[in-house]
């Protein structure tokens, strides 16, 4: 759970409110430490998942301490030492960790200045900090390095020292280069996949062929006899191999697969009628929001439409990976988990260990776009490492494991109805959602949410995916409340009580489908009135920052000057992420040939103070390209028994030659609170593309992905 979630869940206690994650991690020494060599170690509980958070946080720390960024050493998060900041998710890291560090560093600077004043015998007011040197007006000087003393920060934060004002910022707000990129470009090992510990063994798991398969028998004779094989393990329907080398592990896995016999059952829905299937399941229903009389009197007519999205895969370029080692009954895990403490909680549950006997240390993985297989593979590694006699075990999933067994982003059906007056004005708006829950993250339920826990002989019931509460941005209902001034609305979310395919958080959660639906429907209403889509949005959006991104994207794309040509179209989409995060408007320009080709995405975004503007642009660009890929191509495929989209061939994503040009404009808001950028573009991009397809072809595609077959189906 991220911090907002935990605060909503009432963990805040009775202590005075401190900013961001400082509230629950009050010790200053948890956050930073000055070393005599001039280095300053900074610890955050938020982790690098490809989004560039390490650089942004280092920038914040260097800014408040008045040191060059090169002095900051960002330490990897570990349950042995780091502040517990829950999960790195929901575009909340700059809010939660950034504001904590800002205040912790400002306070640390003040404590060191006080110590310097005593040492130099001068008043604090006469001191300034220049590149880590503390200089008195008269010329006397000392430094953080000289004063380095762990006792100074062994105290609770008070947040009584105000951090810098925007006008004083030197580093914050500038596009500093990413700290991690050189290593990645020179091939310096830094991924968990690259760990190479002394005596390390390699492991692979024999995953079942389908979600409900049970392992009836396992003939492991051939696998055990293979050179380099150290052990073959089986526990219920969980099985795996340990070997001296990676290739030996793979060879043994192939042999093991041949020796396994499974009982499979048809538990999956019909992929071709998912939208209906979702609506036919037992559900738990929640009214998310209600305003005015949502069944308006005086309506001339009611317009309605249904939109769907399929199950989506994270499809990270690297399969999930972990290293685990047992020493005297204690477990050490190296993992690319988004939530090291939560993973520890579930490992403790599943292994019946006290949490203090487990250390989870974060090591970077490949790009992470939500709750992927990182936690699951850590548990797999811990299970197999039991047979390793104290040696570390590296376990990497196969590509098929990754595409078929990591939790999926849930399929969704969204139905919207609007009551309209005779002129086509919206009197009332109704939005209903059917979906599995959008979070199966570890650390929340009474039973572990780790994949293999459901496969063991003594299996744990896999927890049903839930939806995070509204205070944390909601789940399936994320962005279901329209960001427009409709006089009345009613928003209802139906969460499925069966989960044939394991679902959890994927970048932007329900916002992708909800924004796609709302912004498509708004276009349909505008088209019915003969109104320009941009004009319709400006008429209905009153928030100045919403209007500003719409206007900026339209101006940059030259919306008004669009020249209509055969087979080409443009469309617009907008949302304020979670209703509380970044404002984002996207204009898409497409060409409809044999397939839909997105030529250009022009995006305007308002994230408040952008700590690192290039980092924001990078995330928005990346998010938009990924959303274009979801919108045009992606769909988890399955028959009634098995997931069949378990290779890149069957789960294609957008390639270099298919990627649109992306232009990002960041609205300057240095005085405003920073909000995250990572997920803001997902929904608006999908809507902009769908609206552009309508503009080009006059065909409204309401079921994602927008493939040639879907366009033909929608046209008929």
Question: Which residues lie near other proteins (CB under 8 A)?
Answer: 49-52, 175, 177-178, 180-189, 191, 193-194, 196, 202, 226-228, 245-248, 250-251, 253-254, 315-319, 364-369, 396, 398-399, 614, 618-619, 621-626, 629, 647-649, 653, 655-657, 659, 661-662
Q: Within 13 Å, how many C-alpha atoms sit on residue 675's CB side?
A: 20
Would you say 364 or 419 has its CB closer to other proteins?
Answer: 364
CB contact at 8 A, 636 and 406: no
Residue 300 binds ligand FES (CB under 6 A): no
Residue nearest to ligand FES (CB): 367
Measured at the CA of 250, the angle between CA 246 and CA 255, to 5 degrees, comes to 145
Say how far apart CA 346 and CA 443 lie, in whole Å: 5
**Main-chain dihedrals φ then ψ at residue 606, nearest 5 degrees:** -125, 110
Residue count, binding to ligand FES (CB under 6 A): 4
The least CB distance from residue 242 to other proteins, in Å, is 15
Would you say 212 or 250 has its CB closer to other proteins?
Answer: 250
Would you say 193 or 332 has its CB closer to ligand FES?
Answer: 193
Would you say 183 or 263 has its CB closer to ligand FES?
Answer: 183
CB contact at 8 A, 450 and 442: yes
Residue 652 binds ligand FES (CB under 6 A): no
The least CB distance from residue 177 to other proteins, in Å, is 6
- Say which residues have a Cβ less than 8 Å from residue 367's Cβ, sequence separation at least 6: 49, 50, 316, 317
Say how far apart CA 61 and CA 74 lie, in whole Å: 10
The least CB distance from residue 657 to other proteins, in Å, is 4
Q: How many residues are present in the chain?
A: 716
Would you say 367 or 670 has its CB closer to ligand FES?
Answer: 367
Torsion of CA 494, 484, 677, 581, to 10 degrees: -80
Alpha helices (H) in 505-576, listed in sequence order = 511-529, 533-540, 544-556
Would you say 396 or 520 has its CB closer to ligand FES?
Answer: 396
The entry of other proteins, ligand FES, none near residue 559 (CB within 5 to 8 angstroms by kind) is: none
Q: Where are the beta strands (DSSP E) in 366-445?
A: 393-396, 412-420, 426-435
The least CB distance from residue 16 to ligand FES, in Å, is 41
The least CB distance from residue 407 to other proteins, in Å, is 16
Say how far apart CA 503 and CA 497 lie, in whole Å: 12
Measured at the CA of 507, the angle between CA 622 and CA 367, to 5 degrees, comes to 55
Beta bridge partners of 597: 591
How many other CB atoms are found less than 10 A from the CB of residue 139? 6
Tokens at residue 233, please? 């393990």
The least CB distance from residue 371 to other proteins, in Å, is 16
Residue 367 binds ligand FES (CB under 6 A): yes
Say how far apart CA 601 and CA 392 lie, in whole Å: 46
Residue 317 binds ligand FES (CB under 6 A): yes
Q: What is the CA radius of gyration of the chain?
A: 27
The least CB distance from residue 706 to ligand FES, in Å, is 24
Q: Where are the beta strands (DSSP E) in 113-177?
A: 127-130, 133-136, 141-143
Would you say 176 or 515 has its CB closer to other proteins?
Answer: 176
Would you say 34 or 630 has its CB closer to other proteins?
Answer: 630
Residue 50 binds ligand FES (CB under 6 A): yes
The entry of other proteins, ligand FES, none near residue 371 (CB within 5 to 8 angstroms by kind) is: none
Would you say 202 or 568 has its CB closer to other proteins?
Answer: 202
Residue 319 binds ligand FES (CB under 6 A): no
The entry of other proteins, ligand FES, none near residue 51 (CB within 5 to 8 angstroms by kind) is: other proteins
The least CB distance from residue 651 to other proteins, in Å, is 10
Which residue shows structure tokens 């009050």? 26
The least CB distance from residue 593 to other proteins, in Å, is 16
The least CB distance from residue 63 to other proteins, in Å, is 20
The candidate with the shortest Cα–Cα distance to 691, out of 566, 534, 565, 582, is 534
The entry of other proteins, ligand FES, none near residue 619 (CB within 5 to 8 angstroms by kind) is: other proteins
Contact set with ligand FES (CB under 6 A): 50, 317, 366-367
């Amino acid at each position: 759970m991220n911090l907002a979630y935990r605060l909503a869940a009432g963990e805040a206690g009775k202590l005075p409110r401190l900013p961001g994650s400082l509230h629950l991690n009050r010790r200053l020494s948890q956050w930073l430490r000055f070393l005599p060599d001039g280095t300053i170690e900074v610890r955050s509980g938020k982790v690098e998942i490809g989004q560039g958070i390490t650089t942004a946080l280092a920038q914040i720390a260097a800014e408040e301490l008045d040191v060059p960024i090169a002095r900051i050493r960002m330490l990897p998060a570990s349950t042995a030492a780091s502040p517990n900041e829950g999960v790195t998710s929901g575009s909340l890291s700059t809010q939660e960790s950034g504001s904590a560090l800002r205040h912790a560093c400002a306070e640390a600077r003040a404590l060191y200045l006080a110590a310097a004043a005593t040492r130099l015998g001068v008043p604090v007011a006469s001191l300034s900090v220049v590149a880590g040197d503390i200089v008195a007006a008269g010329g006397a000087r000392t430094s953080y390095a000289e004063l380095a003393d762990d006792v100074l920060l062994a105290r609770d934060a008070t947040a009584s020292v105000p951090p810098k004002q925007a006008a004083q910022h030197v580093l914050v707000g500038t596009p500093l280069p990413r700290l991690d990129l050189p290593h990645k470009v020179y091939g310096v090992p830094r991924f968990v996949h690259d760990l190479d510990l002394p005596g390390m063994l390699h492991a692979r798991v024999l995953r079942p062929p389908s979600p409900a398969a049970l392992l009836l028998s396992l003939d492991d004779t051939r696998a055990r006899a293979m050179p380099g094989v150290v052990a073959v393990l089986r526990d219920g329907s969980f099985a795996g191999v340990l070997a001296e080398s990676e290739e030996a592990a793979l060879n043994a896995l192939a042999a093991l697969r041949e020796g396994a016999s499974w009982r499979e059952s048809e538990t999956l829905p019909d992929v071709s009628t998912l939208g209906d299937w979702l609506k036919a399941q037992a559900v738990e229903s929640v009214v998310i929001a209600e305003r005015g009389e949502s069944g308006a009197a005086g309506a001339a007519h009611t317009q309605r439409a249904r939109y769907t999205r399929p199950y989506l895969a994270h499809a990270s370029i690297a399969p999930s990976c972990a290293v685990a080692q047992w020493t005297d009954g204690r477990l050490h895990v190296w993992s690319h988990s988004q939530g090291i403490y939560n993973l520890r909680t579930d490992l403790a549950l599943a292994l019946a260990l006290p949490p203090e006997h487990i250390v989870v240390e974060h090591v970077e993985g490949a790009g992470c776009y939500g709750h992927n297989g990182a936690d699951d593979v850590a548990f797999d590694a811990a299970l197999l490492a039991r047979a390793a006699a104290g040696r570390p075990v590296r376990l990497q999933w196969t590509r098929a494991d990754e595409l078929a067994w990591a939790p999926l982003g849930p399929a969704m059906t969204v139905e919207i109805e609007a009551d309209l007056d005779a002129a086509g004005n919206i009197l009332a708006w109704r939005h209903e959602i059917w979906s599995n829950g959008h979070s199966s993250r570890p650390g929340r339920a009474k039973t572990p949410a780790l994949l293999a826990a459901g496969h063991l002989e003594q299996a744990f019931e896999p927890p049903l995916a839930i939806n995070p509460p509204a205070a944390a941005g909601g789940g399936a209902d994320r962005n279901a409340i329209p960001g427009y001034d409709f006089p009345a609305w009613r928003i209802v979310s139906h969460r499925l009580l069966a989960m044939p395919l394991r679902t959890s958080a994927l970048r932007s959660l329900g916002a992708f489908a909800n924004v796609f639906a709302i912004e498509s429907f708004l276009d349909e209403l505008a088209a019915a009135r003969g109104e320009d889509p941009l004009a319709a949005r400006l008429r209905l959006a009153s928030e100045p920052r919403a209007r500003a991104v719409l206007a900026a994207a339209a101006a940059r794309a030259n919306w008004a000057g669009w020249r209509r040509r055969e087979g080409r179209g443009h469309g617009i989409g907008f949302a304020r992420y979670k209703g509380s995060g970044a404002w984002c408007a996207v204009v898409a320009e497409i060409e409809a040939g044999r397939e839909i080709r997105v030529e250009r995405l022009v995006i305007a975004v308002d994230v408040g103070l952008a700590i690192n503007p290039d980092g924001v642009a990078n995330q928005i660009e990346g998010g938009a390209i990924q959303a274009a890929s979801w919108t045009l191509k992606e769909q988890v495929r399955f028959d009634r028994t098995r997931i069949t989209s378990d290779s890149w061939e069957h789960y294609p994503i957008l390639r270099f030659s298919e990627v649109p040009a992306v232009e990002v404009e960041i609205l300057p808001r240095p005085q405003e609170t920073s909000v995250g950028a990572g997920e803001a573009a997902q929904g608006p991009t999908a809507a902009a593309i769908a609206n552009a397809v309508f503009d080009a072809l006059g065909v409204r595609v309401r079921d994602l992905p927008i493939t040639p077959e879907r366009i033909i189906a929608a046209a008929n």
